[in-house]
Every structure is written in C-alpha cells, then in structure tokens.
C-alpha cells in the first residue's frame, strides 16, 4: 500500500494530464466551449462563424488572384495555390473537430480521469507523457509565432523600400507588399487602403495559422496520452500478480523469478488479467474515437501537403527574389513538418501497440494454474498482434512509411513540373531565335 505522502505526490502528477494549453488554443479560434463559471463567456459559435467567414473571404480573394495569374505569372500562381491548400486543410480540421465535438470532449475527459497512477511507475509514465505533450505544444507555438512575425514583417519592409524607390503604384510590385497575394474588391494603392488590407491579411493569416496550431497540437496530444495508456498496460502485464515492491522482492527469494501463480492466488491473478484485458479494450475504443476525427484530417493533410511540397519545391527552384524564396521555404517547411508530425506519432502508436503482445507473453501465463487464465492471456496476445493504427480516409496508414511514399510522390510531380517548365523555356527560345 502507498503511504499518505506517496498518494499526494501521485495525485499532484495526475493534474498534469489536463489539456490546458490545447483547450486555450482551441478557444482562440472558437473551436472549444468556455469553461463554466468563467467571468468572460461570450458565445463561441458567433466567434467561430466570424473567423471562418473571414477565412472564406480571404480564400475568395486568393482564388480571384489565382484565376488572374493562371497561365501567366508562374510565381504568383504557385504561391496562391500553396496558400489556398493550407487554408483548405485548416477548414477541414476545424470542420472535423466541430462535427465530432462531443465524442472528442468525452475522450479527453476519459483520458484525464483514467490517468490516476496506482504506483510510482505509472506516475512516471503519465507525467512523462504530460511533459511531452506540453513541450510539443510549446515548441510549435514558438515556431509558428516566429514564422508569422517574419512573414508579416517582410512585406512591410518591401513596401517601405519600394515606396522609397517610387514603385508604390507599380501593379507588379504591389503584390510583394502584402503577406498574401490576393485581389480585393477595392483599390489597395492608397495609404489607408493599404493599411486596412494589410491588417486584414495579417488577421486572416493569424486565424488559419492558429487553427492549424490548435488542431495539430490537440490531436497529437491525444495520441501521446493514448500511447501512455499503452505503456501503463504493458507495465501492468509485465508485473501481473505482483503487489508492492517489497512483496514482489519477498516472493522472488533466492534470486530466481517465480511464476505469478506462486505469488498470489489464482482468482486474484485472473482478476488482474481481466482488468488488463478491459484496459486494452478501452484503449482500442479510444483509438476508434480518435480515428473518426483524424481520418478526414489526415487524408486532407496528406493530399495537400504532398501538393504543397511539390509546388513550393518547384517555386524554390525557379525563384530569384529573396521574398518569394522565403515564402516558398515557409510553405515547404510547414507542409513537411505537419506531415512528419502526424506520421511520426502514428508510427509511435503502432510501435507501442505491438509491444502489448510481447508484454502479455511475459506475464507468466505458461506457468499459471487454471485454464481460464491461460485462455484469457492467449486472447489478449492474439488481439494485440494486430497493431493499433490510424488511417487517412482508409487509404493511407499514418506511419513513417507513408511519409516516405508521399515525399517520393511529391518529388515525382516536382520532376514533371520542372521538365515541363524547361521545355516551355526551350520552345520560347526557339521562337525568339527564328525571329
């Protein structure tokens, strides 16, 4: 049994599994309800509708610019295509969370309530997962903030430089003075119109950036906490039939490991195994709920990231301007990081779920007395041989193997685009030579 100080320490560690930062980020974009008893509780539905409406208006202006430059200015076309794809993925993530809001909230509360450690080993697992989730959220917040500041300052510097050079009203230079290339229904050459349009684009860009950040960190935190549940299950299977550390040491006298059936009675051993089986069933249910939300998100992320990596890589290859090169680099890095994060943690989930069968094999089921214990142990080992995996629309398994496949597909499309571009330049040079 744990003494009072140990119990207090374990309960303090339990409070780490709270999703506090993730909920705050989701509230900023109107995707999470306010806490009861809050002093400031505006309606989140109008907030979400206002933000998504602003994103929709921004996408409309971008599509208008994409239509204007289609078949002409290749640099503007690829930049617009990348930003439209990023906003489309943000819409998909927000729609998935809003449509499955209740099961996701229930899953979050269930993971939080079932993370009460029963011993020091479980406490270390849960606290480590909590630190991991918080560190991931913090690192992504800092990364996104730095990129957003540079993204917004660079067009402002271009505006001041081009105004000093007398290119303020040059239609070709106007688009480099804004964070996003778009066609607006008003004139943007004047000072007040420029300030209003610039501020509008900064707010719109911040909204879809925050949407990506909030949804990604929340979904990945869910995966991290589910993986911690798998770690606890493996630890329980490995220590099946043991009591506290002192009782386990006393039962293994002479330095030889005894079978679990020698350390406790058969009914107690069977009850502990049944508890492990129920825990495994709960974990499978957790993954099923997460799969409902992550499936459309992962599919959209995979498809759009593949296209963005291809287009931005092509833009980097043909770009000569530093500002345009920086934009392409940001698109390429953002798409690659988002794709890698989903595939990395999907691979972690698969790897950890495969260890359940190994842990069940080490619970001493061959030495146990009783047919029902042996058959139950075989049941969990058989089920655990099929690893838990998240999929993107039933087409792709979220894993590192899929990450490599998507990168290869992006490179193939990039090679085709580059070849077509070089062929077009050779034809133009041939026409000029004939003239």
Render pLDDT for 346-361 as a digit per residue (tens, 0 to 9). 999 999 999 888 888 7
Tokens of 409: 């597909």
Over residues 24-60, the pLDDT tens digits come to 888 888 888 766 544 344 445 666 677 777 777 877 8
Highest mean pLDDT (candidates 90-99, 129-138, 258-267): 129-138
Residue 54 lies in a domain: yes
Split into its structural domains, the chain has a count of 1
Residue 275 lies in a domain: yes
Tokens of 327: 């934009």
C-beta of residue 210 within 8 angstroms of C-beta of residue 29: yes
User: Cα separation of 254 and 389, whole Å?
Assistant: 43
- Res 217: pLDDT: 93
Residue 178 lies in a domain: yes
What H or E segment, with its residue span, contains residue 392? strand 391-392
C-beta of residue 133 within 8 angstroms of C-beta of residue 20: no
Dihedral in degrees, nearest 10, Cα atoms 106, 108, 110, 114? 180
Span 203-232, mean pLDDT? 91
- 274 vs 217: which has the higher pLDDT: 217
- Res 164: pLDDT: 63
Give the predicted TM-score (pTM) of the model.
0.83
pLDDT greater than 90 at residue 345: yes
Residue 255 lies in a domain: no
**Residue with the two structure tokens 């496949």:** 405
Residue 207: give the domain boundaries.
Answer: 12-35+44-242+260-423
- Return the half-sphere exposure (C-beta side, CA atoms, 13 A cut-off) of residue 351: 10
User: Cα separation of 54 and 60, whole Å?
Assistant: 10
Phi-psi region of 241 (alpha: psi -120 to 50; beta: other; left: phi over 0): left
User: Cα separation of 147 and 204, whole Å?
Assistant: 15
Angle in degrees, 0-180, between the axes of helices 322-361 and 74-99, rounded to the nearest 10? 40
Q: Taking the alpha carbons of 293, 296, 300, 305 in that order, is the dihedral positive or negative?
A: positive
Over residues 292-303, the pLDDT tens digits come to 989 989 988 998
Residue 2 lies in a domain: no
With a pLDDT cut of 70, the percent of the chain lying above it is: 76
Q: Give the count of beta carbons closer than 10 Å to the beta carbon of residue 240.
A: 24
User: Cα separation of 129 and 13, whole Å?
Assistant: 11
pLDDT greater than 60 at residue 172: no
Which residues, 6 or more positions from 380, have their beta carbon under 8 angstroms from its beta carbon? 237, 273, 276, 277, 280, 356, 357, 360
pLDDT mean across residues, the chain? 77
Residue 6 lies in a domain: no
**Residue with the two structure tokens 């042996």:** 374
Over residues 329-343, the pLDDT tens digits come to 888 888 899 899 999
């Amino acid at each position: 049994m744990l003494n009072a100080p140990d119990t207090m320490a374990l309960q303090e560690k339990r409070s780490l599994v709270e999703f506090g930062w993730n909920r705050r980020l989701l509230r900023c974009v109107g995707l999470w309800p306010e806490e009861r008893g809050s002093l400031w509780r505006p309606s989140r539905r109008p907030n979400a509708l206002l933000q998504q409406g602003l994103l929709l208006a921004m996408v409309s202006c971008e599509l208008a610019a994409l239509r204007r430059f289609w078949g002409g200015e290749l640099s503007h076309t690829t930049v617009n295509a990348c930003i439209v794809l990023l906003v489309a993925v943000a819409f998909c993530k927000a729609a998935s969370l809003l449509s499955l809001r209740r099961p996701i909230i229930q899953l979050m509360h269930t993971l939080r309530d079932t993370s009460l450690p029963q011993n020091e080993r479980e406490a270390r697992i849960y606290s480590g997962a909590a630190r991991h989730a918080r560190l991931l959220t913090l690192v992504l917040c800092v990364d996104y903030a730095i990129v957003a500041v540079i993204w917004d300052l660079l067009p402002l510097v271009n505006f001041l430089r081009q105004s000093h050079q007398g290119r303020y009203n040059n239609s070709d230079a106007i688009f480099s003075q804004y964070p996003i290339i778009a066609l607006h229904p008003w004139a943007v050459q004047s000072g007040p119109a420029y300030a209003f349009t610039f501020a509008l684009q900064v707010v719109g860009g911040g909204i879809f950036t925050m949407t990506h950040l909030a949804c990604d960190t929340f979904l990945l935190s869910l995966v991290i906490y589910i993986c911690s549940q798998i770690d606890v299950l493996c630890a329980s299977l490995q220590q099946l039939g043991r009591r506290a550390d002192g009782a386990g040491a006393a039962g293994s006298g002479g330095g030889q490991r005894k079978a679990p059936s020698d350390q406790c009675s058969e009914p107690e051993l069977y009850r502990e195994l049944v508890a492990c089986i129920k825990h495994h069933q709960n974990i499978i249910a957790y993954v099923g709920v997460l799969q409902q939300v992550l499936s459309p998100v992962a599919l959209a992320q995979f498809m759009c990231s593949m296209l963005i990596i291809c287009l931005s890589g092509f833009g980097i290859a043909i770009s000569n301007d530093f500002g345009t090169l920086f934009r392409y680099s940001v698109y390429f890095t953002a798409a690659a990081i988002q794709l890698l994060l989903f595939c990395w943690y999907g691979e972690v989930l698969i790897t950890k779920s495969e260890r359940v069968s190994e842990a069940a094999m080490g619970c001493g089921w061959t030495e146990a007395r009783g047919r029902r214990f042996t058959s139950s142990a075989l049941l969990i080992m058989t089920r655990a041989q099929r690893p838990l995996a998240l999929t993107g629309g039933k087409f792709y398994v979220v894993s590192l193997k899929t990450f490599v496949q998507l990168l290869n597909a992006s490179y193939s499309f990039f090679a085709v685009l580059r070849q077509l571009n070089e062929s077009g330049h050779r034809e133009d040079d041939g026409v000029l030579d004939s003239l």
